[in-house]
Each structure stands twice: as structure tokens, then as C-alpha cells.
Chains A and B, each alone.
Chain A
């Protein structure tokens, strides 16, 4: 099987129903607790969503380092900026729709331009938030965080990676945006799976000449794997990249992959405008242009439904990724 052995994924990675499931926000909560244990400068601030952003683990262990600011996301950002300016390493959590959705300017000016190391955790990102509907489904957050200078942007693929990303964010000397999902998703990486901020991971690599590459981020990376396995059976050879760090983006791996595959499909639970796919396109358009298809939300708002229904409804299911691969293949010149 073309699974990259160096990725050290779980066994039976393609048997979705047999995999353990957990929301990426849970990995965040565990990572934050571990970060707090490792570094006493770490403090946590929440805006009236402590348990649903999974900050309760930290709050219980370190009540003196946990700060509740109420439903006030602009203040969440500015107070954290002040704490970081003083010398703390603050993590701020809310739903991505509200932070960084509501407090964008404060994040830009008082955190990024001010060059203070606040870590912004946006939970409940994507349409898979489910029944709460479009008001609570952040699908523009990558696009608004990505262009701010000094910012790092990470969208982990499962709870294990979320924990690693959270702990690694402490080591970044600057602001970091961490994007998490509400719903349980398959845990397909392990404690041994490599994770390095800014380093995209090849997790599936077919033998022989590649037909296309699938570059994905967030829990949809697993859908990309399932699509790759199906395509393999149909005789199509692809590479799947877990592109967890959207900024700084791993140009080297992306360019190599474009050269090897000649066609790319990007997959993200986000608007296709300005998201991870756009970031990939910016690199490839300049350094190695190849046809690209973008799987994601196509300039629409979300709506109520179950998470699985919504992923299908908005065109981000396994079948949609496969269709996109076939579509991009038709555009390949050679």
C-alpha cells in the first residue's frame, strides 16, 4: 500500500469506522494542559466558552493562570496582547467565528504588528460545526489570518496533531493561529507521526509516475487518504500531502510535488477564496504552474445539518475529491 511508512499512521488507516474518533479541539485542550505544565509563562484566556473550547483542563489545573474575560472577544485579544507584552505566553480561545472573526483588527495591530507571542485558538471552524448553522461556522478564518505579517497559521488534521501543534506553538517566538473543529473526526496519526511547524508531510505516495497530488489540511486530510485509496484501485496514482501549516507554507515540498505530479487538488473545510488552496496556488503559480482544482466551500454560507451531511452537501466528501482529481487530470497537458 502506498502509505508513507515514515508518516507512522495508525494501522487500518483506511477503515474509517474502526478508527478512534476525537475532535481536534480536544487535542488542543490536552496540548494546552501539557504546554502549561512545561512552561509556567503559559496563561489561558477564554471568552465564556471554556469547556467547548476545551480550556477546562488547563483552568482546573492552573486556576491562577486562567483568565475569564466574558463575551468580549476584542478584549480577549487586547488583554492577551498586554499579558504577552509583559512576558507571559497567552493562549486565547473562542469559536473561530468570534476570535479571530470579531477581533481581527485587535489581532492585527495589538498582537501581530505589536510583535507579541499570543496564540489564538479558533475552535468550531468549518461547516462541520453542524446544527448551529452558518452564524457559527467559520469558513473565512484562514483567509483573514494568513495575510497578516508575523502570523503563523496551522490547521491540524486530527486530535493527536492538534496536541502537537499546540505544544509546538509555545516555541514560536510570535503569534500563532491554531484552527480546530468541533466534531469528532478519525484519529489516524500517532504520537510518532512527525510534526514540525512549516513542514508538510507526505502521507500517501503511489509507486511509479504520479497522475496528481492531493494537498489537504484539517480533518479532511483523512477524506483525501480515502479518495487516494479509491483512485489507486481505479489505476490512478496520487500523492497526498498533509499541509497542516498554511503559513509559513512549505514551498519546497509543494514545488517538488507539483513537479512530480503535474496536477494538484487542494482540499480544505474553508472558502476556496483565500484559504489553504489559495496559498498553494500562490506558490505554484510563481514557481511551478500546474493545473489546480480547489475542493472547499464555493462562495456560500454554511447551514444547519449533521456534520457528515454538510461535508457532502458542500462538496468536500471523498467522492468530490475523486471527481476533482479526475477533472484536474483532464487539464493536464502531458
Chain B
């Protein structure tokens, strides 16, 4: 595997940090929404929007673009933040999240915001949509990839496995799934609520190629996608081991942060933590 250039990694790390800051600002302004999942997926979204995706933020309906389908719509604030910084819409629009008339609906809506690709929120229905999309693209010999980001909690849903079986049957090699394996869901730890392990074995037995990565290591994220693209005979799913709340110590690993936003005081503290890189630098302005 080729290595990502150090400068590129540094660039992505800095982008992810800025995107996390925008996320916190967005959530505190909205006054509701999810915090832990979006923070945990900040690095993955950054890697996709700033390195992996073949896309054009100024031309969101470009026919040859890769399609990124977000199945667990509730983590959309991080997607919105990444999209804004990538140039899809002004960063200041993030402040409209969840407000009346906004394009940034509480759960993403396809026709509200160009680039979100599909409407999602109710769990378990993204992989089917991504599979249908990939099936149609394959019928017509199209070259773009269809990516489907899922949560681990929605692996509880029957529809997810109906779709996994479908994608396996039709060998959808243009479909690449990515599971946000952060081990938390609303009611607690995934293995207490409804055990998912052995998750790798489940997907393999459904006819998928499975990769596992550290979802906070840009080189691993990028290399996994490169490998997935090279798998020709079946769909690939990347189990991305993520730390929920990654980047803010108080939130990391705490499932209580799944479905709530920070208040203003917490947000100020969290933003300071991000801006000083966790105390590594003294001033927020260094």
C-alpha cells in the first residue's frame, strides 16, 4: 500500500479539527442533536470529503460523482460540517441546523440540500438504498462508486441484513459500506443491547469482503478504500473502529452523549480543547 504523504496527513488532521469545531458550534446553536457519533466519524468524513471522494462541491449533481449515502442520518451534523468546509455551502449556514426553513434538516433530506444524496434517519434503510443505487449504476456500466455509511446500532435492524444479502447475491462490487463501529447506541453498549459480534463473520458469510480499520488513522482509512476498490468479485464493508466523541476527552466512550448536544458552557470548554489540541499548545491562537 502506498503511504499518504505526511503533509497530506497533517492537512487532514487540521481539517478534521476545524470540522469538529464547526460541529460543536452547530450543535450548541441548534440546542438538540447528537454529539458522540458525529465526533467519532469526523476523521472518516474528513478523509472522504478531502481525499477519497471523486466529487465537485460546486457541481453537486455532476453525474460521474461518487455517491456517499449516509444510512444513520442522525450523525448528519458532521456530514454537514464536512460538506460546508469542502465548499458545498457557506460554513455560516451550519448555524441554521434544525431551524425552521433550514436546508440542514435534523435528519438529512435529499431534496433540501444538494449533495446529501438521500433522505435518511429511520435506521436500517440506507444499505438497501445504496444497493439499489449501485445495482442501477452497474446495469448501465457506470464507473462511480457508491459508499454507504452505517452505524453499528442499525446492524440490529432486519432491513440491514436483507440488504446485505441482496448486495452479496448480486456481487455489487461498486458498493463499499463503512460501519461506524463505536460500540454505543442510545440505550447503552451495543454488545449489551443486542450483541453484534462476530460482525466480521456475519458480513463474510453474507458474501462480503470485510476490512477493519482504526477510524482515526487517515492512512488506514484511505488504504482500506483503495483495497475495497480493488475487490472485484463482491461488495466490501469496512468496519471502522471509532471512538465515540473522539477529540473531546469528556465525551469519549460515553454513550450518554449519543443523543444530546453540548450546552453553551460545555461548548466553550470543548472548543478550547479542540483549538489547543488538547492542551498541547497554550493559546487558542497559536
Please say whether chains A and B are actual partners in one complex: yes
A69–B119 CB distance below 8 A: no
In the A-B complex, the 7 residue pairs with the smallest Cβ-Cβ separation, listed nearest first, are A82-B132, A78-B128, A86-B136, A75-B162, A79-B132, A72-B162, A82-B129
Q: Which A residues from 60 to 96 make CB contacts under 8 A with B?
A: 64-65, 67, 69-70, 72, 74-75, 77-88, 90
Q: Which of B120, B130, B132, B162 is A74 in contact with, Cβ under 8 Å?
A: B162
CB-based nearest A residue for B73? A109
A78 partner residues in chain B, CB cutoff 8 A: 125-129, 131-132, 159, 163
A85 partner residues in chain B, CB cutoff 8 A: 110, 117-118, 129, 132-133
B114 at the interface (CB under 8 A from A): no
Min CB gap A33→B, angstroms: 19
A250 at the interface (CB under 8 A from B): no
Residue in A69, A75, A80 with the greatest tally of chain B CB atoms within 10 Å: A75
CB-based nearest A residue for B139? A64
A75 CA / B161 CA spacing, docked (Å): 9
Could you list 24 examples of A-B contacts with CB < 8 Å? Answer: A70-B165, A74-B124, A75-B128, A78-B126, A78-B127, A78-B132, A78-B159, A81-B125, A83-B136, A86-B132, A86-B133, A86-B137, A88-B139, A90-B132, A105-B122, A105-B125, A106-B125, A109-B122, A109-B125, A110-B118, A110-B120, A113-B119, A114-B111, A115-B110
B132–A113 CB distance below 8 A: no
B163–A113 CB distance below 8 A: no
A79-B132, A79-B166 given as contacts; is B110 within 8 A of A106 (CB)?
no
B57 at the interface (CB under 8 A from A): no
A65 CA / B136 CA spacing, docked (Å): 9
B42 at the interface (CB under 8 A from A): no
B158 at the interface (CB under 8 A from A): yes
Q: Which residues of B contact A (CB under 8 A)?
A: 69, 109-111, 117-122, 124-137, 139, 158-159, 162-163, 165-166
A83–B119 CB distance below 8 A: no
A85-B118, A110-B118 given as contacts; is B135 within 8 A of A75 (CB)?
no
A75-B159, A82-B134 given as contacts; is B125 within 8 A of A110 (CB)?
yes
A234 CA / B144 CA spacing, docked (Å): 69
A87 CA / B119 CA spacing, docked (Å): 16
CB-based nearest B residue for A87? B136
Per-residue contact bits, chain A 128-144, to B (CB 8 Å; 1 contact, 0 not)? 00000000000000000
Q: Which of B109, B135, B162 is A67 in contact with, Cβ under 8 Å?
A: B135
Min CB gap B69→A, angstroms: 8
Min CB gap B28→A, angstroms: 28
CB-based nearest A residue for B111? A115
B135–A82 CB distance below 8 A: yes
A88 CA / B136 CA spacing, docked (Å): 7
Per-residue contact bits, chain A 36-77, to B (CB 8 Å; 1 contact, 0 not)? 000000010000000000000000000011010110101101
A67 CA / B167 CA spacing, docked (Å): 12
Min CB gap A73→B, angstroms: 9
CB-based nearest A residue for B138? A86
A109–B121 CB distance below 8 A: yes
B130–A82 CB distance below 8 A: yes
A79 CA / B126 CA spacing, docked (Å): 9
A80 CA / B158 CA spacing, docked (Å): 17
Min CB gap A107→B, angstroms: 10
A90 partner residues in chain B, CB cutoff 8 A: 132
CB-based nearest A residue for B130? A82
